[in-house]
Amino acid sequence: MEHGSFTNDSFASFTLAEEDHTLANAVRFMLNQDPRVTFAGYSIPHPSLECVNVRVQTTGDPAREVLKDACQELMLMNRHVRSVFDKAVSEFKVEQARLAAEEEKNKKAEEEELKKQRDLLASMDIESD
Amino acid sequence: MTTKGEKRIVSEEDKIFAKNFNIMDHPDIPTGLPPHLQLQRTRVLCKNDAPIHTASVSYSGAYNAVGVDNSVKLENFSENFKVDVIEISKDGMELTFDMIGIDAAIANAFRRILLAELPTMAFEKVFIANNTSIVQDEVLAQRMGLVPIAADPKLFEYLSENDQPNEKNTIVFKLHAKCAKGEGRKKVLTEQLIWLPNGSELVKESGDSNSKPKTYTSFSRSQKESFPEFADNPITPSYPDILIAKLGPGHEIELEAHAVKGIGKTHAKWSPVATAWYRMLPEVILLGEVEDEDAERLVKACPENVFDIEDMGNGRKRATVARPRDCTLCRQCVRQNYGEEVNKGVEEKEWIENVSLRRVKNHFIFKIESTGSLPPDVLFTEAVKILEDKCERVIANLS
């Protein structure tokens, strides 16, 4: 819900229902990053109310559009975070699997080596007998 | 330079020069933030008495005066953002990763969503048919509620107030444990919970004896049919060895527990993580050479073993920072005399600050400990998706 002025749309307050610090703080950060914004802030009017008030004042652009852009930007940021995270995790898992396989291989080689030595020792024993 | 009385002649060339003049283009003007501002912007300094420069500078025009743009543009963000997976635990339920190049506002949003807004399944109703154990009914029900269930919540629907519990929104378990007289004390563990894919077996009392007996759920078919993934591997609690109660000789518990979908905001039992937290990357810097006796004192002072001693030859030693990630910020190394008590009679040395403790503001060491319903990497991607949905909703509301 928007609480603004009829004559000047460069400042307005918005009430976001069923939201809390989670979204409001992130949106506030995104708004502050926008050079068009002169002031951005948020407050929760009462702890038992499930809403936040976001205040946006701009250098002239409509506050509504600026807030929309901030949300859009945040959304694109999230999308990027997700793709980078997924890639990092799958790469890590592949690497882990490779390391595990290598370890297995080394273990097997070691065992074989031990067996060989044992056989050798056994054959030597026979010879000495 | 023009002197007084002389007429100033301004050529066309001068005008153009003046118009295009920008002090920042001058080769003698240093570009970028001065180092002390850069330090304040990117680091929290943990001083002896308190940390300083803790807030992040979010205003885009904060450094306009020195010609530095402080706004984060998506392109810059995409270029600088990095994720390094540090560790996934053996059972795959704990994940540690580094998130670099993101502001605390957004990292904190992820953390808050992980804790409170991701759905899971948890016991909401416990029907106790018999309980002669020393654990009271309400305490038993509360304990049951906290048992994590290894079922993907995406497969299920929310049970709203007017809904009948059916196979799409409810998981039913039964528990019957008994300790016969003459036996020793017995433990009731979560492995004794038995999944009922056909729904409740408890019959509702009704005055009408002719009608078909009703149970507390109305499943139209078995969950084994409606969810093919559960046909061969039944739904169980995440861990088989969680203690629910202890029974003495002659005690008995018989109950049925109904799990529904919910989020951590409503009750912590629906939180999919035991905990999800982050800390900023510690940075430990030696401000000068710390040598010999001083080096040994410094190494001894640190309880986390952050420092090492390097042998410089001819019997001299020097302190080095070996494991800055282990720093817990106890600040022992920035206290006077490294927190040691000064012996009476021994002259107190003049205090020189040797170490600078810092935290990198945009580098987060993130840890997610899942309770077992979903692996932590899935939880994180789901959390990011939820934040995306929130943004989308606001945009939709505004247009």
Structure tokens belonging to residue A99 = 């390391």
Decide if A5 touches B, using CB distance below 8 A. no
As a whole-number percent, the residues of chain A with pLDDT over 90 amount to 79
Tens digits of per-residue pLDDT, B38-71? 899 999 999 888 899 998 888 888 888 887 888 8
Three-state SS annotation for chain B? CCCCCCCCCCCHHHHHHHHHCCHHHCCCCCCCCCHHHHHHHHEEEECCCCEECCCCCCCCCCCHHHCCCCCCCHHHHHHHCEEEEEEECCCCCEEEEEEECCCHHHHHHHHHHHHHCCEEEEEEEEEEEEECCCCCHHHHHHHHHCCCECCCHHHCCCCCCCCCCCCCCCEEEEEEEECCCCCCCEEEEHHHCEECCCCCCCECCCCCCCCCCCECCCCCCCHHHHCCHHHHCCCCECCCCCEEEEECCCCEEEEEEEEEEEECCCCHHHCCEEEEEEEEEEEEEECCCCEHHHHHHHHHHCCCCCEEEEECCCCCEEEEECCHHHCCCCCHHHCHHHHCCCCCCCCCCCCCCCEEEEEEEEEEEEEEEECCCCCHHHHHHHHHHHHHHHHHHHHHHHC
Decide if A116 touches B, using CB distance below 8 A. no
Average pLDDT, chain B: 88
In the prediction, which pLDDT does B83 show?
Answer: 94
Residue B390 and residue A23 in contact, taking contact as beta carbons nearer than 8 Å: yes
Q: Which of B98, B110, B382, B398 to mutate to test the interface with A (most CBs of A within 10 A)?
A: B398
B277–chain A nearest CA distance, Å? 15
Decide if A3 touches B, using CB distance below 8 A. no
Closest CA to B374 of B166, B129, B121, B145: B121
- Do B100 and B155 reside in the same domain of the chain? no
Prediction ipTM score: 0.88
What's the domain range around B48? Answer: 34-118+271-287+354-399
- Do B129 and B265 reside in the same domain of the chain? yes
Question: In the CATH scheme, what architecture does the domain A2-100 have?
Answer: 2-Layer Sandwich (3.30)
In the prediction, which pLDDT does B289 show?
Answer: 86
B69–chain A nearest CA distance, Å? 9
Contact B109 A37 (CB under 8 A): no
A64, A78, A88: residue with CB nearest B387: A78
In the predicted model, residues of chain B with pLDDT beneath 50 are none
Residue B310 domain flag: no
- Do B50 and B155 reside in the same domain of the chain? no
Q: Quick one: closest CA in B to A36, which residue?
A: B60
**What is the CATH number for B46?**
3.30.1360.10
Contact B394 A23 (CB under 8 A): yes
How many domains does the structure of chain B reveal? 2
Which chain B residues touch A22 with a CB distance below 8 Å?
108-109, 112-113, 116-117, 387, 390
The residues of B whose Cβ lies within 8 A of any Cβ of A are 58-61, 69-72, 74, 77-78, 81-85, 88, 95, 97, 102-103, 105-106, 108-109, 112-113, 116-117, 377, 380-381, 384-385, 387-388, 390-392, 394-395, 397-399
**What is the CATH number for B133?**
2.170.120.12
Q: pTM of the full predicted structure?
A: 0.87
Average pLDDT, chain A: 91
Tens digits of per-residue pLDDT, B291-320? 888 888 888 888 999 999 888 888 888 889
Structure tokens belonging to residue B315 = 């019997």
Residue B189 domain flag: yes
A29, A37, A75: residue with CB nearest B103: A29
Contact B395 A71 (CB under 8 A): yes
Q: Where along chain A do its domains lie? A: 2-100
